[in-house]
Amino acid sequence: MGLISPGNFDLIKEAMDICAFPSGARILDAGCGEGDTLAFLERTYGVNGTGIDRSDGLLRRGREKHPGLDLRSGETELLDFPSFEFDGVIMECVLSLSSLQLESLHETWCVLKKGGKLILADLYIIDPDPAEAARARKEAEDARRAPHKEGDCERERNAPSEYCLSGAFVVESLFEAIDEVGFERLSWSDKTPALRAFAAEKIFEYGSLADFWRATLPPGETEPGFCRASASAKNIGYFLAVLRKSE
């Protein structure tokens, strides 16, 4: 969410250098928060940006901070845009929060132009336990295959993830999903120091990450994945990846 993302704008600048979008490129920030990253990109790189977020409170703040910025209500699981609409999509600390992660990747693939790029930054398990990862995957597969029952329409939103453990990705499983959708991996780099610096800074200033999010988010909003996955834990890392849709 903009300036409160690990690394501030340093990571997005690194990714933009890899992507080399031309001025005027259509960029979607999926999970834009208050729109700080999108405003930075428009100002610095001259892109034509659109942001979506599920939080009405964050969008309301963003429209006050950045008048004229195209900020809309939306979710990654169902992107309400035409196919081949964007040159690039950004998902910072968003995919791990999705209840339908493979669908979110599919939706992103559909709205990207041929050769379009996805900038993905998120949490991952540095050294996952293979048995625990296999157990979590089987649990998710069993939940997906279970017959639906009356009143069960929202089950998918609470379903376990095939790709995450405790809110952070198992990298090998994420790569399988990326490959299945059809993305080419242009780059993947560990950015765990940025995550740990972020966590340390907020804990020092607010006392805990939970207190930081309570002070930062609109009333009634829940903490993002940094709290759910315990960003300060030794086994939680952070990555930056750039993916490309095949020509």
User: Which 8-state DSSP code applies to residue 46?
Assistant: -
List, for residues 166-190, the tens digit of each pLDDT value: 788 999 999 999 999 999 999 999 9
Q: Is the pLDDT of residue 230 over 60?
A: no
pLDDT score at 135: 83
List, for residues 120-171, the tens digit of each pLDDT value: 999 999 998 888 888 877 877 777 666 756 655 554 555 668 888 878 899 9
pLDDT score at 154: 53
> For the chain, what is the total number of helices (H) and then of strands (E)?
9, 9
Nearest to 1 by CA among 25, 23, 30, 33: 33
Name the band, by pLDDT with cuts 50, 70 and 90, for residue 2: very low
Other CB atoms within 10 A of residue 192 CB: 17
Classify the C-alpha dihedral 173-157-114-51 as positive or negative.
Answer: negative
The better pLDDT of the pair 81, 147 is held by 81
Instruction: Specify the pairing of strand 168-169 against strand 183-190.
Output: unpaired
pLDDT score at 148: 59
Nearest to 232 by CA among 174, 193, 206: 193
Instruction: Specify the pairing of strand 26-30 against strand 86-92.
Output: parallel
Mean pLDDT of 35-51: 96
Q: What is the CA radius of gyration of the chain?
A: 18
All domains of the chain, ordered by start, with CATH?
Answer: 2-245 (3.40.50.150)
Nearest to 188 by CA among 136, 242, 145: 242
pLDDT score at 145: 67
CA distance 134 to 160: 13
Which stretches of the chain are assigned E, i.e. beta strand? Answer: 26-30, 48-53, 70-73, 86-92, 112-125, 164-165, 168-169, 183-190, 236-245
Nearest to 107 by CA among 7, 44, 4, 182: 182
Polymer length in residues for the chain: 247
